[in-house]
Amino acid sequence: MTRGSLLRQVGALARRSVVRTLRQPAMVVPSILFPLILLSINSSGLESATMLPGFPTDSYLQFALAITFVQGALFSAMSAGTNVASDIENGFMNRLALTPLRRVALMLGQLAGIVALGSIQAVTFLIVGVVFGADFATGLAGALVIVVFSLLISLGFGCIGAFTALRAGNGEAVQGIFPLFFAALFLSSMSLPRDLIEQDWFRTVADWNPVSYMLECIRSLMIDGWDGEALALGFACAGGVTLIALVAAASALRTRMVRT
Amino acid sequence: MSEGAIEAHGLVREFKKGPRAVDGIDLRVEAGEVFGFLGPNGAGKSTTVHMLTTLLPPTAGSARVGGHDVVHEGPAVRAAIGAALQEAALDPFLTGREHMKLQTAMHGMSGEEARKRSDSLLERVGLTQAADRRVGGYSGGMKRRLDLALALVHRPRILFLDEPTTGLDPQSRTALWAEVQRLAADRGVTVFLTTQYLEEADVLADRVGIIDQGRIVAEGTPEALKAEIGRPSVEAIPAEPEQLERMKAVLSRFGESVAGSTKGASVRLAGGDAQLADVVRALDSEQIKIQDLQLHAPTLDDVFLAKTGRSLEGAAEEAEQEEAEQEAVAA
Amino acid sequence: MSRGSFWTVARAVGWRSAHNFFKNPAIIIPALLFPMFFFTAFAGGLSRVDSVPGFDYDGGYTTFVYGFVLLQASAFGGVFTGFAIARDFESGFSRRMMLAASNRGGIIGGYWIAALARAMFTVAVVTAVALLTGLEISGSPIDIVGLYTLALLLNAAAMLFGTGVAMRMRTMQAGPLIQLPVFLIIFLAPVWVPYDLLTGWVGAAASVNPITLVIESIRGLLTGHPTEVLPAFLVAALLVGLTALWSRGGLHSAERVA
């Protein structure tokens, strides 16, 4: 297999992944709209929380914008998982398996669709945030870092979705992980900074939850400025989740596509 | 002895928690032949095809396709074969042309070559007009035709078709048959076709292998298999249901009983269709009034029946019921 | 049309729909999990919010959150019944019911009975968990009857709204169209903080949202300091009346094609 044709395979699969993702408005639109609706409701409904002593900013929108990126990634997970499950259920994966396709090309191709959706989400959330008054303490450079970081989270969550689909082979299992993601998002520093969480058990869960650090990484870029520790923790968590999920998904693909 | 295009020896496939789906299959398909693999749902046809197309490793036994071992030379086998499997395996969000583009890219074809090949195949299967429409809007027949075109992209010498006309309307079915016959006749492609339709095997296949519960129960040309059974069967339904047992007793004098309608009885005429007149006379002399009397020439279903004791259609219903029961237990 | 046949039909339809719910873990579990989850996440994660200056509620944040979760569980119990009706239409089962029923209004009555049963079950479980984790109900018995009656009235209103949509659309695509308005109406209200602390557009929306009166009233009844109870009941009754008309229209629409 020459590098030339591997690239061609990845290119063709990536193109397919992007096209079929963007041709499903019923998946794309809610993945952008819901986080924004929730942002709107939360930032207005919880504005008074900014009056708490120790709250890092006087705009709840500024605080809550970070949540949209993680929620967007959640939708990426569901979309990636559902797409992979469809391919398995309708036999498309078998069709691909009968070609000289390399598994790595299939993985990379699938990820392209996630990156496409994730990019649209990230840019939209940033623009909406700016339009409604959010500030970026780190300026344009920080905004770009947020986009890259958001893509990393989308990739990680997307791989979790793909892994689930490859292990279970059906769409119901993918739907079944939604509550788990939901729980992971809520049991974090989603609504209040960790040091303002009163209940010990909740704070402990949030301390151990990688999603807390992902949110705090984005918030630091918007509110605090360049904070090395927050960035390191955030990227470590997002990178760690992505790496583990990628390896798991690749392994599940090997089992699913059991051709000789 | 020269190698066949497809050869299998003692092919077995076991799944966890279940009986053997394929229980020791031997077969040989010559190059250029159309081989029909006939059997009810659940007989092991698709599992066999998956093993021969390298999608599933056999639990035991061996097979060679296109001169290559399916287990140890997977990529070489895949280069020699094309397959249109049971599911149409299409992405509803892509157009027909986009499918062709993807498939040609997978096979390493460059831009111009890929485009020419796509156009040519789309024309051949009559999808040029619909090529730029999303497959989600295609009819069942159109999907099957695209499926076939995709299987032919890399000019395979051997083609596997897994129940290619299930669920199609008669017109689409006939069109697909014509294309398969053209492939075999004009281009010398070896075709391995699985089906549950007797007529399809009869019309298309040079030779037929009948599979039931994971094993081949009969193999040969359709004519030879039917000639083996040889004799026609007569089916009678009494006008008065109370006379059924007496009617059965009369009929049993003329040959062995075979499965048929529950309202009546069927026997295979030991002496051939010449005995029909005798049957009528015998029933008349016993004053058994007959509502319906039919003479059936032997069919592949009769062959199946003779080998397994079940009718192919009955076996299909049985398999469906078993599947439903298993699903209920699992749920 | 006899009143007797209304109840006969309603009992039969209600039994079947409730039976589907109670025998199906795939339906019961999410119906229980979501309110419990909201309760845990809000009461656990946001409890510091009651330290915000001006947060005027003497029941503690857990009780405050419980008021919202009670509302959410009741309203969504009605929504899920709407989903069940949409599914029945899509599968063709509704046609069977419409042909068989001697009183078609009884069909809606039956779905209402099922929605009530679901809501009471869900609320009972959520309340038990809340009591174990810090909920304090200091209201009098009358207050308690009042607050749960309000919740069940909202359950009925949500169910009737869902029925109207489901019977007009007659497919599962009705799902989001039932869920989204109910979701918005309960969230554009004093969810995390009292009404007086709401600002911005949600504050403006809450000022015209009938649910605001209902939820503030429920919270007042929980602590034994009822406020605006009569207006809350009037509003709830009005919602039930309007949605009943809406669902009646839906039934007529479905009858035209049955």
Beta strands of C38-153 (E only): which ranges? Answer: none
Name the helix (H) or strand (E) containing A49. Answer: none
Contact list in A for residue C33 (CB cut-off 8 A) is 179
Contact list in B for residue A94 (CB cut-off 8 A) is 55, 85, 87, 89
Separation CA A39–CA C50 (nearest Å): 21
Separation CA A259–CA A196 (nearest Å): 53
Separation CA C153–CA C239 (nearest Å): 9
pLDDT tens digits, A64-115: 999 999 999 998 899 999 999 999 998 999 999 999 988 889 988 988 999 9
For A186, the closest chain C residue by CA position comes to C41
Contact list in B for residue A20 (CB cut-off 8 A) is 91, 93-94
Asked if C192 contacts A52 with a C-beta cutoff of 8 angstroms, the reply is no
Of chain B, the end-to-end C-alpha distance in Å amounts to 51
Instruction: Say whether residue A67 is in contact with chain C using an 8 A CB cutoff.
Output: no
CB contact under 8 A, A91 and B86: yes
Single out the residue of A14, A22, A98, A16 nearest to residue B94, CA to CA. Answer: A16
Of chain A, the end-to-end C-alpha distance in Å amounts to 17
Contact list in A for residue C198 (CB cut-off 8 A) is 44-45, 47-48
A10: containing domain: 3-256
Contact list in C for residue A198 (CB cut-off 8 A) is 47-48
In this prediction the ipTM stands at 0.86
Asked if C109 contacts C9 with a C-beta cutoff of 8 angstroms, the reply is yes
Q: Which of C30, C41, C187 sits opposite A186 (nearest CB)?
A: C41
For residue A171, the model assigns a pLDDT of 86
N residues, chain C = 258
Instruction: Say whether residue A177 is in contact with chain C using an 8 A CB cutoff.
Output: no
CA angle, C48 as apex, C47 and C54 as ends, to 5°? 110
Percent helix / strand / coil, chain B, rounded to 5: 40, 25, 35
**How far C6 CA sits from the closest chain A CA (Å)?**
39
Single out the residue of A59, A230, A205, A75 nearest to residue A142, CA to CA. Answer: A230
The mean predicted confidence, pLDDT, of chain A is 92
Handedness of CA A218, A224, A226, A229 (dihedral sign): negative
CB contact under 8 A, A206 and C45: yes
Q: Which of A11, A19, A98 sits opposite B94 (nearest CB)?
A: A19
For the beta carbon of residue C145, count every other beta carbon within 10 angstroms: 12
Every domain of chain B and the residues it spans: 6-226, 231-297
CB within 8 A of C174, min separation 6: which ones? Answer: C82, C83, C86, C162, C165, C166, C168
CB-based burial label for B115 (10 Å; 0-12, 13-18, 19+): middle
Report pTM: 0.82
Number of structural domains (chain A) is: 1
CA angle, B103 as apex, B98 and B108 as ends, to 5°? 125
pLDDT tens digits, B260-318: 778 899 888 887 778 889 999 999 999 999 999 988 888 888 888 788 878 776 666 66
Cα-to-chain-centroid distance, residue C215: 12
Cα-to-chain-centroid distance, residue C105: 21
For C62, the closest chain A residue by CA position comes to A199
Token digits of residue B210: 């009948």
Chain A residues bordering chain B (beta-carbon distance below 8 Å): 5, 8-9, 11-13, 16, 19-20, 23-24, 86-87, 90-92, 94-101, 258-260
CATH topology of domain B231-297: Alpha-Beta Plaits (3.30.70)
For residue B239, the model assigns a pLDDT of 92
What's the rounded mean pLDDT across residues A176-198? 91
Separation CA C44–CA A67 (nearest Å): 18
Q: Which of B70, B89, B101 sits opposite A95 (nearest CB)?
A: B89
Single out the residue of B141, B241, B194 nearest to residue B6, CA to CA. Answer: B194
CB-based burial label for C2 (10 Å; 0-12, 13-18, 19+): exposed
Separation CA B69–CA B9 (nearest Å): 11
Give the position of tokens 């079929």. Answer: A20
DSSP for A104-139? HHHHHHHHHHHHHHHHHHHHHHHHHHHHTT---TTH
For residue A92, the model assigns a pLDDT of 93
Q: How far is it between the farthest Cα atoms of chain A?
A: 63
Mark whether A and C touch (3+ CB pairs within 8 Å). yes
User: How many contacts does A have with B, using Cβ atoms within 8 A?
Assistant: 80
At A233, give phi and psi (nearest 5°): -65, -45
**How far C199 CA sits from the closest chain A CA (Å)?**
6
CB contact under 8 A, C201 and A46: no
**How far A162 CA sits from the closest chain C CA (Å)?**
23
Token digits of residue C79: 């929504």
Give the position of tokens 């559902």. Answer: A82
Choose, out of A189, A199, A211, the residue to mutate when testing the contact with C (most C CBs < 10 Å): A199
CB within 8 A of C131, min separation 6: which ones? Answer: C137
Single out the residue of A72, A82, A233 nearest to residue A150, CA to CA. Answer: A72
From first to last of its 331 residues, what are the pLDDT tens digits of chain B? 467 799 999 999 998 877 789 999 999 999 999 999 998 888 899 999 999 999 999 999 999 999 999 999 999 999 999 999 988 799 999 999 999 999 999 998 988 999 999 999 999 999 999 999 999 999 988 999 999 999 999 999 999 999 999 888 888 899 889 999 998 888 889 999 999 888 899 899 999 999 999 999 999 999 888 888 777 888 999 999 999 999 999 999 988 887 777 889 988 888 777 888 999 999 999 999 999 998 888 888 888 878 887 877 666 666 666 666 665 554 4
Asked if A213 contacts A234 with a C-beta cutoff of 8 angstroms, the reply is yes
Choose, out of B47, B73, B87, B91, the residue to mutate when testing the contact with A (most A CBs < 10 Å): B91
Give the position of tokens 């009885």. Answer: B265
Contact list in A for residue B71 (CB cut-off 8 A) is 260
Give the position of tokens 């399809």. Answer: B200
Choose, out of B62, B106, B150, B155, the residue to mutate when testing the contact with A (most A CBs < 10 Å): B106
For A189, the closest chain C residue by CA position comes to C45
CB contact under 8 A, A202 and C49: no
Single out the residue of C150, C122, C133 nearest to residue C41, CA to CA. Answer: C133
Choose, out of A34, A37, A43, A46, the residue to mutate when testing the contact with C (most C CBs < 10 Å): A46
Identity of the residue numbered B185 = A
CATH topology of domain B6-226: Rossmann fold (3.40.50)
User: How many contacts does A have with C, using Cβ atoms within 8 A?
Assistant: 78
Instruction: Say whether residue A64 is in contact with chain C using an 8 A CB cutoff.
Output: no
Ranges of chain C whose pLDDT falls below 70: 1-4, 258
Contact partners of B by the rule of 3+ C-beta pairs under 8 A?
A
Contact list in C for residue A52 (CB cut-off 8 A) is 48-49, 51-52
Handedness of CA C99, C100, C102, C106 (dihedral sign): negative
Identity of the residue numbered C182 = V
Separation CA C150–CA C194 (nearest Å): 18
